[in-house]
Structure 1
Amino acid sequence: MISSFDADNDLAAYLGDSVVASALEAWAGGHALRVAVPPEPWRRRGGSGALLVRVRVTRIAGDRGPSDLLMKVCSPGSPAGEPAIHERAWQLSPTFARRHLFRQAFPATILQDGRVLMYLDSSESLVDDRTLGELPIRLLVDCATATIRLVWGEWNGRTRRREVSTVADVLRCELRGAFDKGRSAYRWLQQAGFDVEDAQVQALSDASAQLNAMVSLLVRGSELGQRKLEYFCGNSHGDLHLDNVIVPFGPDESPDPGRIKLIDLSGFSPTAPLTRDLATLLTSCALKVVRKGVTPAETSALVDALTASRPTAVTSCRAESPAVKDMLGVLHAVRSAALAEFDADLQHLLHAQYLLSLIAQAITYTSYRNIGHFGRRWYFELGISAAERFVAFYDSGPLVSSTWLK
């Protein structure tokens, strides 16, 4: 994030990339536009290296005044497919998109290095806007809760569907990028029975070995892995972490959750398990406090807040820091808001599905470099607890409703 820019319209310095600056100027010339640093700069950079930046454009001919665009620099590989996926999300849900997504104003530009430039309409100033990740925890409660309500309610309230598959197939669907070679989860996923290439074997920690064993139970040819699971699917952002949600702020410097915008739709799917976004949002929230380490009592409280069958207010233990206490409130509020979108008789089915999404997210987080030793260990603990609770929950009875059993 930047709040000021000292250079006199130095586009390359503003973007931090001379290649992108040259490509942007060439693109502007081809559309009879001039491009410049805006009077009020706004820039964000994502974990994958993607850049989202506001630029000022002016028509070379004509009497129309200048306007602003959001330009996104998508990383090579699968993120480069975002323009087409973004457009599909608009076409499938135009009413929701007009309120909560940015519109592509021009076709994307493909750079020689494989990156892609997206041009998004920016009718709002964005200067005072922040991502969820930039909010203090005291403001995160209302804004994260509003995010899951708009995704599950406004985006999916009338279009979500119920499907039936095996436990193993739903978990495989949710693991997605954890299969990628080079991720730290790669080796133990192989041992859990996934179809991946061989890799050099390194000693697994006790935590990863335990989670390996739990996932093996769910995905190998076990009776549990082949049992039927009814799940809810629909529109999924696909990567609903804290830095992919932009919260506008009003004149009184308070957040306006009703005008939340979602960015980075490279993982969007209209047929994904709905709990993917809930698990992503919650595990991203937890990272704010677990990255630097938490006590055993705090670990237990946070894991319980995420995995218990019903979100209940967790009694604070003496050792908890104020940040952990506040985060427990966030997790409780978001889970409660999500459950409120479903009838009571469907919530037990939703919880089983959610635990599988949570397992997948915990595994995915173990492959992130920026979470540190303490964070990685905590996500292993979360995955183990979610897997254990899923096994116990499923053993308590069928997780397919009577309408599917007839």
Structure 2
Amino acid sequence: MSHGFLDDALASGLDRAAKAALSGWARMEGSAFRLDRWMNNGKSGAVVAVVDEENEFEGARQLVLKIDEEGDFECPEYTQQKKARADSPDFAREHLATAVHQPIAVGDGRWIVFQEVAGGSMRTYGVLTRLLDAATGTDATDADTEAFARACRTVVHSTLRDWAVIPRQAPMTAAEYVRQHVGPRLHRPGRLRDLMATAVDAYLYFDEDEASLPNPLALLAEDPAADKPVGADSVVNALCGKTHGDLHTENILLRLEPSPAPDGYWLVDLAKYSARAPLARDATHLMLYVIARTLTGLSPVQRTALIRVLVDGDSGRGAGQLPGWIRVFLTEIRAAGHDWLLKRALPDAWDDQTRLSLAGNALVFIGRRSTNAVARRWFLRLAGHALRESLPRTPAAVPARTAPAAHDPAVSEPSRIWIAQLCEYRPTLRRLAAEAGLAGELDALVTSAQLGEDREDGFAHFVRKLGGSDILRIDVPGLGQGRPLSGEFHGCDGGHCPRREPRMPSGPVPRCALRSAPMPLRSE
């Protein structure tokens, strides 16, 4: 051990602070650690490794080492794990990973924690992702599809029957229900808060949809005066109980050798555990995690069909357009909730709350850095459709649009000039669009601008249809060939739009027409 009780392979994968903390603790405990393998812990980027510990007093054993970093949760994973085990000791003995040793402080807010190897064997047990990969592979068989779907149903049904056990009703508004899925992310800087600052309208408009959709981002607004969709304050008798909070195929381990045996599954990564949260959130998070991994392989038509199947349940509209493994997977997940609640006559409530949980968890995926522009737009549409079916009332459908019906945003950084032009001249465009019967197209462009999408060509085509081509030749102050602005100026608050307006001490404060808010004063 050339690094103070850590072998070279382990030491080289840790930063200086973590290496010093672990090495010092190991010396005090009489332990030495050797790396067995590094592990990829989903999308979090956390440092996770399987290590062999040799303790002077207790001998050898294999453990999982993890550096617990600040994330989208209120308490460290070690604390949440202890809570989960204390709340359900019988379930924990069979299905929850066990912490080993006390946490080791790194000194910068991080902690090094150890867990037992789930199931006791890294060779026999593996993550559920392995079954997902087999079911979606080019040489997948019906047996692969059934094995994956059956494992998902087993885990979801067991977490409801054996962990939640008894559903409890908790009255809350639809907006509060959705916010429970987002949790602390609501108050932390990031993509979700950026979108909340720009997409402030109560309804969104997409080229692919002929009707307006409730804006799920508007449900996150905590300002009581904020514009919200009709029905956001309607009361839901939420079915609540114990939930994992981040259920996905990398956090579920099961016996894979010699053949899959999902009954003996184990759950890891309990940082988002809650003893009283909407019970539909785990099942829907697992659904959306699996879909997120495979969404780019679906055509625009299939993505729209998938939204209908997720929101409409067993109605079957569009299901035939989807790959068979997705249909089987979604059917089995839905059946898991129905099986558990049928004797309580609550399957209808489960379906209703599944839609709200689809909206809540879609917002979680929208906020993740790993979600690209195409997927982000799809999740926003999914959330809007789910809310449209969940909230008591929605406005009438907007007029049909003549824009392309399967628009997908570019993943690359979009041009922002068109957004500034739309913001500057939106009042004029609104009047012209109303006269031409094209208000729906303008609404769709506004939604795209609020989301920061690249619709420069579509905007130019729309303006020309209105006979307003001069707008495209007029430069907005602060960009292009327009008047350069320096010193103090009024600029975009959300970063989507490069529009700048000069400071006029005796004049009114310019307003952003996309956010319906004053443009803050900035300097350069």
Higher normalized contact order (CA 8 Å, seq sep 6+, divided by chain length): 1
Q: Which has the larger radius of gyration?
A: 2
Q: Aligned residue for 1:171?
A: 178
* Post-superposition offset of 1:114: 1.8
- The answer on 1:244 being equivalent to 2:251 is yes
Q: Which residue of 2 aligns with 1:273?
A: 278
The superposition leaves residues 316-367 of structure 1 with CA deviations (integer Å, 9 ceiling, x where unpaired) of 23xx5xxx33122111111111221102631122222221111111122122
Q: What's 1:370 paired with?
A: 370
State the TM-score, normalizing by the size of structure 2: 0.63
Identify if the C-alpha distance between structure 1 residues 35 and 218 changes in structure 2 by more than 3 Å, giving closer, same or farther: closer
User: What secondary structure is seen at the aligned counterpart in 1 of 2:164?
Assistant: coil
Q: Which residue of 1 aligns with 2:386?
A: 386
In 2, are the aligned partners of 1:49 and 1:75 still within 8 Å (CA)?
no
Q: What's 1:59 paired with?
A: 55
Match of 1:126 in 2: 122
Show the counterpart of 1:5: none
2:298 to 294, 298, 305: 294
Match of 1:402 in 2: none
State the SS of the aligned residue for 1:258: strand
- Pair 1:188–1:54, CA change in 2 (3 A): closer
CA 1:205–1:165: 2 relative to 1, 3 Å: closer
- The answer as to whether partners of 2:99 and 2:114 remain within 8 angstroms in 1 is yes
Shift of 1:247: 2.2
Over 3 Å counting, the alpha-carbon distance change for 1:91 and 1:217 in structure 2 is: closer
Given that residues 46 and 243 in structure 1 are in contact (C-alpha distance below 8 angstroms), is that contact kept between their aligned partners in structure 2?
yes
CA deviation string 1:178-212 (max 9, x = no partner): 42444323244346779xxxxxxxxx995899656
Q: Could you list the runs of 5+ residues in structure 2 that have no partner in the other structure?
A: 1-5, 136-144, 222-226, 396-524
- Indicate which of 9, 12, 29 corresponds to 2:10: 12
Read off the aligned partner of 2:215 and give its amino acid letter: A
Whether contact under 8 Å (1:238, 1:277) holds in the other structure is yes
CA drift of 1:270 comes to 0.2
Q: Which residue of 1 aligns with 2:238?
A: 231
Cα 1:222–1:368 change in 2 (3 A) is closer
Distance 1:58 1:134 in 2: 30
The equivalent of 1:306 in structure 2 is 310
Q: Hey, what's the Cα distance between the residues in 2 that align with 1:334 and 1:275? A: 11
SS in 1 for 2:40: strand
| Range moving further from structure 2, 352-361 or 185-194 | 185-194
In structure 2, give the amino acid aligned to 1:48: S
Distance 1:67 1:217, change over 3 A: closer
> Which secondary structure state, in structure 1, belongs to the residue aligned with residue 64 of structure 2?
strand
Q: Which amino acid aligns with 2:8?
A: D
Amino acid in structure 1 at the alignment position of 2:242: N
The answer to whether structure 1 residue 256 and structure 2 residue 251 are counterparts is: no
Distance apart, 1:150 and its partner CA: 1.8
Deviations along 1:229-264, one digit per CA (max 9) or x if unpaired, are 1111010111112221122222x2x22211211111
Give the AA of the match of 1:113. Answer: D
SS, match of residue 226 in structure 1: coil
Matched residues in 2 for 1:90 and 1:246: separation? 18
Indicate if the aligned counterparts of 2:178 and 2:219 stay in contact, CA closer than 8 A. Answer: no
- 2:106 matched to which residue of 1? 111
Deviation at 1:368, TM superposition (A): 2.1
Amino acid across the alignment from 1:99: E
1:76-91 to 2 correspondences below 5 Å: 76=70, 81-91=76-86
- CA–CA distance in structure 2, aligned partners of residues 348 and 377 of structure 1: 29
Matches of 2:370 and 2:220, distance apart in 1: 28
Sort the Cα spacing of 1:31 and 1:16 in 2 relative to 1 into closer, same or farther, 3 A: closer
Which has a greater percent of helix?
Answer: 1
Structure 2: distance between partners of 1:70 and 1:218 = 37
Contact 1:162 / 1:230 at 8 angstroms: preserved in 2? yes
User: Aligned partners of 1:205 and 1:32: how far apart in 2?
Assistant: 63
**Contact 1:218 1:225 (8 Å CA) reproduced:** no
Code of the residue aligned with 2:155 in structure 1: it is T
Residue identity opposite 1:326 in structure 2? W
- What stretches of structure 1 of length at least 5 have no aligned partner? 1-7, 195-203, 396-406
Contact 1:192 1:212 in 2 (8 A): no
Once the two structures are TM-superposed, the CA of residue 383 in structure 1 deviates from its matched residue by 1.1
- Displacement of 1:155: 0.6
**Which residue of the partner structure matches residue 201 of structure 1?**
none
Superposition map of 1:312-327 within 5 A: 315-317=319-321, 320=322, 324-327=323-326
CA contact (8 A) 1:105 1:119 kept: yes
Correspondence for 1:197: none
CA apart distance, 1:309: 4.3
Local SS of the residue matching 1:370: coil
- Alignment of 1:213 with 2:215, yes or no, is yes
Task: Give 1:30's aligned amino acid.
Answer: M
Equivalent-residue separation in structure 2 for 1:118 and 1:110 (angstroms): 9
8 Å CA contact retained: 1:14, 1:37: no
Counterpart residue type for residue 361 of structure 1: N
Q: Secondary structure at the match of 1:176?
A: helix
Match of 1:34 among 21, 32, 35: 32
The letter for the 2-side match of 1:53 is A
Letter in 1 for 2:246: D
1:186 aligned to which of 184, 193, 210: 193
Q: Distance in 2 between matches of 1:331 and 1:29?
A: 50
1:354: which partner in 2?
354
What amino acid sits opposite 1:365 in the alignment?
F
Aligned counterpart, 1:282: 287
Letter in 2 for 1:325: G
Question: Distance in 1 between the 2:213 and 2:381 partners?
Answer: 8
For this pair of structures, how many residues does the alignment match? 366
Q: Distance in 2 between matches of 1:243 and 1:191?
A: 33
CA distance in 2, matches of 1:124, 1:315: 40
Task: In structure 2, give the amino acid aligned to 1:55.
Answer: V
Tell me if structure 1 keeps the 8 A contact 2:230–2:392.
Answer: no
Normalising by the residue count of structure 1, what TM-score does the alignment of the two structures yield?
0.80
Is the 1:247–1:259 contact (alpha carbons within 8 Å) kept by the matching residues of 2? yes
